[in-house]
Amino acid sequence: MKKIIFVAFLCTNFLMLSCNEEDENVNPDPETEENADSDPETEGDVDNDPEEEKTCLVTKFYTEIYSVNITYDEKEQVDRINYSRLDNGFSVYLDYQYNDESKVSTINYYLEDGTLVGYYTQEYNSDGQLIEETYHEKDSETDEMSFISYQRYSYDEKSRLVRVDYYDALTDEILNHTLYTKFDSVGNFLEVEYYGGDGTLTKISEFTYDDKPNARLSLNGFYYGYEAFYSTPNNITKIVVKNSDDVIVEEDGISFTYSYNPEGYPTKAESGDNTVNYEYNCN
């Protein structure tokens, strides 16, 4: 079992996007800008002012190919994520562990038979912000866990994530880095820059959002380089990708259309030929 399998599992099944490993580097951080006048586009037919506001925890999302089931503990923290392929029977699961401050400390990755094949650890600063995440994976030859990679997170004075650096654990060399350079008034990332290991800007992504709650927020700690999907308040409706010369390389961008439940959470997300359905426990 190699890390690339886990990466592909995350990208193709959780995000409805193809996964491209970006080479990035250490560059001086550009000035963080804030777009306080952002007016996110609203899609779908839903009551924007429900009589009673409820909080919903996503318990399942699925397509014709896969199904993901999420269970929570008594504190409404993620306890386990089960992933199953419906076409070939492949199944894995993630177990979450927490520290005394109810922050994710470890995420263990198991095969269906209970074999531990990898795990993440997470560390936080005094403000409770995630500052480092490590990944260990079982070596197929020695059957021992090997330290594979780690990433470090940086924040601005407004406690917004502005940078993620990705490292090779064996050499401590930076593999790439990501800069979050623009935000709207509620904290959604509007622009993200990707840099290669030699400091070269490789691409820029611009994001547009709806004004509805992000279903994936309850999957705390489950980022793996996709913070815009798992840590923003709202749901992405469009991504426009540009190259380093600020030229759009995907003319139509990547678009998402949603249907919502009465509480405003997405029940269906469509992107091209891909459709993900969501189920919740609302209270």
Check pLDDT > 50 for residue 18.
no
What is the pLDDT, as a whole number, of residue 246?
86
Q: For 263-278, what is the mean pLDDT?
A: 94
Check pLDDT > 90 for residue 267.
yes
What is the pLDDT, as a whole number, of residue 247?
86
Check pLDDT > 50 for residue 114.
yes
Lowest mean pLDDT among 52-56, 147-151, 172-176: 52-56
Lowest mean pLDDT among 119-123, 155-159, 223-227, 261-265: 223-227
Question: What distance in Å separates the CA atoms of residue 176 and residue 156, rounded to the nearest whole number?
Answer: 20
Q: Nearest CA to 195 among 181, 180, 178?
A: 178
At residue 98, φ and ψ (nearest 5 deg) are -125, 155
Question: Which segments of 73-199 are extended strands (E)?
Answer: 78-85, 91-98, 104-111, 116-124, 130-138, 145-155, 161-168, 174-184, 189-195
Q: For 119-148, what is the mean pLDDT?
A: 93
Question: 175 near 213, Cβ under 8 Å?
Answer: no
What is the pLDDT, as a whole number, of residue 146?
94
Q: For 73-82, what is the mean pLDDT?
A: 93
The H-or-E segment that residue 208 falls in is strand 201-213
Annotate 252-279 with DSSP letters as a single string: T-EE-EEEE-TTS-EEEEEETTEEEEEE
- Which residues lie across from 61 on neighbouring strands? 68, 278
What is the pLDDT, as a whole number, of residue 50?
44
Query: Which tops the pLDDT comparison, 18 or 215?
Result: 215
Residues of the chain with pLDDT > 70: what percent?
Answer: 77
Mean model confidence pLDDT for the chain: 82
- pTM more than 0.85: no
Question: What distance in Å separates the CA atoms of residue 50 and residue 169, rounded to the nearest whole number?
Answer: 49
Q: For 228-246, what is the mean pLDDT?
A: 88
- Tokens 């560390």: give the residue: 123
140-163 burial, b at 16+ Cβ within 10 Å, e below that, comes to eeeeeeeebbbbbbebeeeeebbb
What is the pLDDT, as a whole number, of residue 220?
67
Q: For 56-83, what is the mean pLDDT?
A: 94
What is the pLDDT, as a whole number, of residue 236?
93
Which tens digits make up the pLDDT trace of 37-64?
Answer: 434 333 344 444 445 678 899 999 999 9
Check pLDDT > 50 for residue 153.
yes
Q: Nearest CA to 223 among 111, 146, 122, 114?
A: 122
What is the pLDDT, as a whole number, of residue 221?
60
Within 10 Å of residue 75's Cβ, how many Cβ atoms?
8
